């Protein structure tokens, strides 16, 4: 089974990265916690740029990552963060070809 992932980069306006995170915590974190289709989610501050956020999302096999970005929580998040961002989020979709998963007994290959 293949797993879909998203790599997302947010470039906040200077000094606004923590405000972007608060908007994420308000609008997206609760639905991400509740959704079973996200089996891995990492919200990360870029160590080399104080205004950049990098997000990694892995979805359960067969899940369409685009469906999450069409819901009301994501719409509310984008409305809240748009004035805080230098440009819209950059989103790259990828299919997992191999992964080490500490919760699984074997690594999957595509």
Are 58 and 38 contacting, i.e. CB atoms less than 8 angstroms apart?
Answer: yes
Angle between helices 17-27 and 72-81 (to 10 degrees): 160
pLDDT at 84: 98
SS3 at position 39:
strand
Q: Residue 38 pairs with which residues in a beta bridge? A: 59
Query: How high is the mean pLDDT in each 10-residue block of the chain (110 residues)?
Result: 83 98 95 84 97 93 73 91 96 86 51
pLDDT at 13: 98
- Residue 86: alpha-carbon gap to chain centroid: 18
Q: Domain coordinates of the chain in residue numbers?
A: 4-109
Does this model's pTM top 0.85? My answer is no
Which CATH code fits 4-109? 3.30.70.100
Long-range CB contact pairs, 70-78, < 8 A, 24+: 71/31, 73/27, 73/28, 73/30, 73/31, 74/27, 74/28, 76/27, 77/23, 77/24, 77/27, 77/28
């Amino acid at each position: 089974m293949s797993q879909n992932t998203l790599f997302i980069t947010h470039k906040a306006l200077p000094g606004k990265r923590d405000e972007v995170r608060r908007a994420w915590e308000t609008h997206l974190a609760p639905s991400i916690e509740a959704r079973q289709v996200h089996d891995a989610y990492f919200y990360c501050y870029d160590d080399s740029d104080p205004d950049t956020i990098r997000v990694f999302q892995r979805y359960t096999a067969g899940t369409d990552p685009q469906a999450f970005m069409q819901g009301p929580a994501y719409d509310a998040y984008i409305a809240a963060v748009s004035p805080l961002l230098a440009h819209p989020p950059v989103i790259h979709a990828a299919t997992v070809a191999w992964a080490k998963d500490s919760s699984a007994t074997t690594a999957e290959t595509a």
